[in-house]
């Protein structure tokens, strides 16, 4: 078994284990800084995040914060290609974000051409992924949660996505 901070080597690449509990307890990601890549499994996805099954919203929020702190040029390799559906949902909680609107159009074209939208850059995610933006005043205002904590806003976004 591996734990937070452990190093793993695959070929000539050495990566670091990041505990990203929330989707499940003990969920992990692998960050390979020399390659600028993070393999996030079911934690962070393009324009989304995994459901909170075994963990808590606070755990998932903290895990996503760890991933959000990686260098912005980091490429995110998630476990699923849910980007088109995630984009449609993201527009429901962040409808006035012009970068999200442009990215949604780009995703539609990319998927229509049969091309993948994974990996995604962390820089894009920081601008457009509502699960990384619970602190954003525009999202908070749209949800009517201006005075809520970031964790409460995150939990509301996750709850809405669960019902989407």
Are 20 and 54 in contact, with CB atoms under 8 Å apart?
A: no
Tell me whether residue 2 is in a domain.
Answer: no
Q: What is the pTM of this model?
A: 0.95
pLDDT digit string (tens) for 7-62? 999 999 999 999 999 988 899 999 999 999 999 999 999 999 999 999 999 999 99
Give the range of the structural domain holding residue 27, as residue numbers without chain letter: 7-163
pLDDT digit string (tens) for 72-87? 999 999 999 999 999 9
Tell me whether residue 145 is in a domain.
Answer: yes
- In order, the DSSP letters of 89-131 are HHHHH-TT-HHHHHHHHHHHHHHHTT----SEEHHHHHHH-GG
Tell me whether residue 114 is in a domain.
Answer: yes
Tell me whether residue 28 is in a domain.
Answer: yes
- Residue 83's SS3 state is helix
Return the CATH number at 34: 3.60.15.10
Task: Name the token pair of 152.
Answer: 């409460």
Q: Does residue 71 surpass a pLDDT of 90?
A: yes
pLDDT digit string (tens) for 97-133? 999 999 999 999 999 999 999 999 999 999 999 999 9
Tell me whether residue 1 is in a domain.
Answer: no
Give the number of domains in the chain: 1
Q: Does residue 69 surpass a pLDDT of 90?
A: yes
Tell me whether residue 66 is in a domain.
Answer: yes
CA 29 to CA 4: how far, in whole Å? 9
Tell me whether residue 81 is in a domain.
Answer: yes
Tell me whether residue 48 is in a domain.
Answer: yes
């Amino acid at each position: 078994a591996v734990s937070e901070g452990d190093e793993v080597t695959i070929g000539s690449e050495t990566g670091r284990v990041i505990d990203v509990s929330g989707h499940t307890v003990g969920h992990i990601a692998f960050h390979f800084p020399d390659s600028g890549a993070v393999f996030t499994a079911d934690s962070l996805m393009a324009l989304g995040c995994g459901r909170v099954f075994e963990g808590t919203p606070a755990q998932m929020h903290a895990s996503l914060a760890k991933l959000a702190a990686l260098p912005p040029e980091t490429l995110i390799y998630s476990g699923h290609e849910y980007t088109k559906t995630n984009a449609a949902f993201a527009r429901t909680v962040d409808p006035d974000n012009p970068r999200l609107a442009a990215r949604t159009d780009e995703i539609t074209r990319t998927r229509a051409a049969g091309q993948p939208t994974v990996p995604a850059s962390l820089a894009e995610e920081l601008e457009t992924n509502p699960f990384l933006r619970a602190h954003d005043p525009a999202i908070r205002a749209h949800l009517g949660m201006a005075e809520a904590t970031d964790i409460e806003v995150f939990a509301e976004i996750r709850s809405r996505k669960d019902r989407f």
